Amino acid sequence: GIQVEQSPPDLILQEGANSTLRCNFSDSVNNLQWFHQNPWGQLINLFYIPSGTKQNGRLSATTVATERYSLLYISSSQTTDSGVYFCAAVNTDKLIFGTGTRLQVFP
Amino acid sequence: DAGVTQSPTHLIKTRGQQVTLRCSPKSGHDTVSWYQQALGQGPQFIFQYYEEEERQRGNFPDRFSGHQFPNYSSELNVNALLLGDSALYLCASSPLSESYEQYFGPGTRLTVT
């Protein structure tokens, strides 16, 4: 089956810094989603991005489907950005999750 | 517009017992998927329901079963609980199509002692 890998596994930033999270997938996928999981476990939808680039405020994402990777950019990070970021590839209607990137933002 | 809801929020059970978790999908969604998230890992797909039938299933034993009702809500049942079943159980809903994104509920945290 499809494998989804995320890097880095952990990221520690000071408030105001920028960061790039990467998601690699092993085979062609029909779609890709990025989520932020808050400390209470809620998965919050960030982007639904099968290809191309999307932006939402300080966050943006780019998926290059032909090269099987996606990037999530966080600019001017804030403490509220802390949590775990997951990418998930859509395969036959089910989501295959990566292992996540744990982000900690300190003031 | 109500999002995906799940109940209960937390649950503590003893080994060998049975548990039922519940999920109501987002308005307009007819497909419900269940995921198990162990501590420190990404969610793992359990199964998906559409039109009251199990449409596809992940690599989980038969102790895990489900049901979908005519109003699209769903239940996840786990029999003969093991300590390893302790996890966050997440429900996701979407229209039936890979062209639509899935939305998740807040989850049910199950602890088996």
User: What are the pLDDT digits (tens) for A8-23?
Assistant: 999 999 999 999 999 9
pLDDT at B85 over 90: yes
The pLDDT score that the predictor gives to residue A46 is 97
Best residue in B104, B108, B109 for a mutation probing chain A (most A CBs within 10 Å)? B104
The pLDDT tens digits of the residues spanning A23-63 come to 999 988 888 999 999 988 999 999 999 999 999 999 999 99
Give the gyration radius of chain B's Cα atoms.
Answer: 13
Percentage of chain B beyond pLDDT 90 is: 88
Nearest to A99, CA basis, from B36, B42, B89, B37: B42
A65: nearest Cα among A49, A88, A45: A49
Q: What is the pLDDT of residue A29?
A: 83
The answer to whether B33 contacts A94, with C-beta atoms less than 8 Å apart, is yes
CB-based contact (8 Å) between A95 and chain B?
yes
A–B: how many Cβ contacts below 8 A? 60
